[in-house]
Amino acid sequence: MPEIAQLRAKAQEEQKKRENQDSLVRRLQKRVLLLTKERDGMRAILESYDSELATSEYSPQLMIRVKEAEDMLQKVQTHNTEMETQLSKAQEEAGTFKLQAQMVAAELDALKEQQVPNAEKNTLATADEVSSLRQKIEELEAERQQLEEQNNILEMRLERNNLQGGYDPVKTKVIHLQMNPTSIAKQQRTEEVEQLRVECQRLRDRLRKIEAGGGMTTDDTTLIIPPSQEILNLRKQMESAELKNQRLKEVFQKKIQEFRTACYVLTGYQIDITVENQYRLTSVYAEHMEDSLLFKSTGSVGSGSMQLLETDFSRTLTGLVDLHLFHQKSIPVFLSAVTIELFSRQTVT
C-alpha cells in the first residue's frame, strides 16, 4: 500500500508536469504564430516600399528605416529560431514525461492485480468483524431512532410551552421598565380614587353629624334652617368630588373604548361580553354579522382557561377546531387560522 501511494503521487506529479509542458507548448505555438505574422507584415511593408519607390527616389530617411526594418527582421528571425528550438525541447520533454506516466500507470495496474488476492484473503479473515460491526450499527441505529423520538416529543412540549406564554430563562431575558407609564398611571388613578373615597366618606360623616344636630318635628319634617357656610362648603366639596368621579368614569370609558378599538384593529376580532364569563368574538372578515364565536371562562378568575361554545358559525369550522383546539390545544393559533380562512374567502370572492 505505501508503494501504491508513492506511485500514485509520482503519477500525479508526472501528470501535472505533462499538463504544464502541454500548456507551455501551446503558448510557444501561439507566440511563434504571432511572430510569423509580424514577420510577414514586415516583409509586406518592405515590399510595398520597394514597389512604390524607385532607386532614385530613396531618401536617407527611407534608407535608415529600411535598415532598421531589416535589423528588426533579423532579430525576429533569430527569436523565431530560438522559440522553435524551445518548442522542440518542450515537445521532447512532454514525450518523455508521457512515457514515464505510462510506465507508472502500468506499474500501478500490476500492483493492483497483486493486491486483489491479498484483498480476498483479508475479506475472508474480516467477515466476523464485519458481522459484529453490522450488529453494532443496527444497535446504534435503534438507539438513534429512540433519541430522535424523544427529541421530537421534547420539541413539541417546548413549542406548546412557548405558545402558552412560557419562555426559556436561560435564552430569554424579560426586562421590566423601572418607570413603567402604565403602572404609574394605574397607581395614580388608584390613589386618586382612594383619596376621593376617603373624602366622600368624611363628608358623609360630617353631613350626618350636622343633620343629627338639627331640630326634628313629630311628623318627621325637618325644620327650615338656613344653611351655614360650613354646609355650603361641604356641598361644594361633594359636588367637586362627584364631578371628579364623573370625569374619571368618562376617562375610563374612553380608555376602554380605545383599548377595544386597538384590539379590534390589531387582532381582527371585536370582543363583547354577553353574560358573565362569556365572550363573543366577531371577525373583521366575517361574511355575516351573526358569524361569531362564543368562548366561556371555565377556570378560576385569572386562570385564562377558555372553552369554545357551539354556534352555527363554529359548526362550519370543524377541521380547524379538531386541529388547533383538540390536537394542538392553542386558541390563538385557532383564531389566526379562522382569520386566514375568512380572508381567503373574501379574496377569492
- For the chain, give every domain's residue range: 228-267, 269-347
> Comparing C-alpha atoms, which of 323, 329, 276, 322 is closest to residue 305?
329
Give which of 52, 112, 46 is closest to 74, Cα–Cα: 46
Per-residue pLDDT of the chain (349 residues; tens, 9 = 90+): 788 888 888 888 888 888 888 888 888 888 888 888 888 887 787 777 666 655 555 566 667 776 777 787 788 778 777 877 777 777 777 777 777 777 777 777 777 777 666 656 566 657 777 778 888 888 888 888 888 888 888 877 777 766 655 556 666 666 656 666 777 888 888 888 888 889 888 888 888 888 777 544 334 444 444 556 777 888 888 888 888 888 888 988 888 888 888 888 888 898 888 888 888 999 988 888 888 999 988 876 666 788 899 988 899 898 999 998 888 888 999 999 999 988 888 876 5
Provide Rg for the chain, Cα atoms. 51
pLDDT of residue 334: 92
What whole-number distance in Å separates Cα of residue 263 and Cα of residue 256?
10
The answer to whether 274 and 292 have CB atoms below 8 angstroms apart is no
State the pLDDT at residue 47.
Answer: 76
Instruction: List all residues 6 or more positions away from 87 whose beta carbon is below 8 Å from its beta carbon.
Output: 25, 28, 29, 32
Contacts of 214 (CB under 8 A, 6+ apart): 222, 223, 225
Instruction: Please provide the DSSP assignment of 59-95 as one string.
Output: -HHHHHHHHHHHHHHHHHHHHHHHHHHHHHHHHHHHH
34: left (phi over 0), alpha (psi -120 to 50) or beta: alpha
pLDDT recorded at residue 48: 74
> How much is the pTM?
0.33
CA distance 293 to 287: 13
Q: Please report the pLDDT score of residue 215 as a whole number.
A: 44
The half-sphere exposure of 37 on its side-chain side, counting CA atoms within 13 A, is: 5
The grid cell for 330 is 392553542
> What stretch of H or E contains 187?
helix 181-213
- For residue 337, the model assigns a pLDDT of 92
CATH 3.30.457.60 fits 269-347, yes or no: yes
Which residues make beta-bridge pairs with 222?
A: 216
At 340 the pLDDT is: 92
Q: How far apart are CA 55 and CA 122, in angstroms?
A: 91
Dist. CA 315–CA 287, nearest whole Å: 15
Closest Cα to residue 292, out of 304, 279, 283?
283
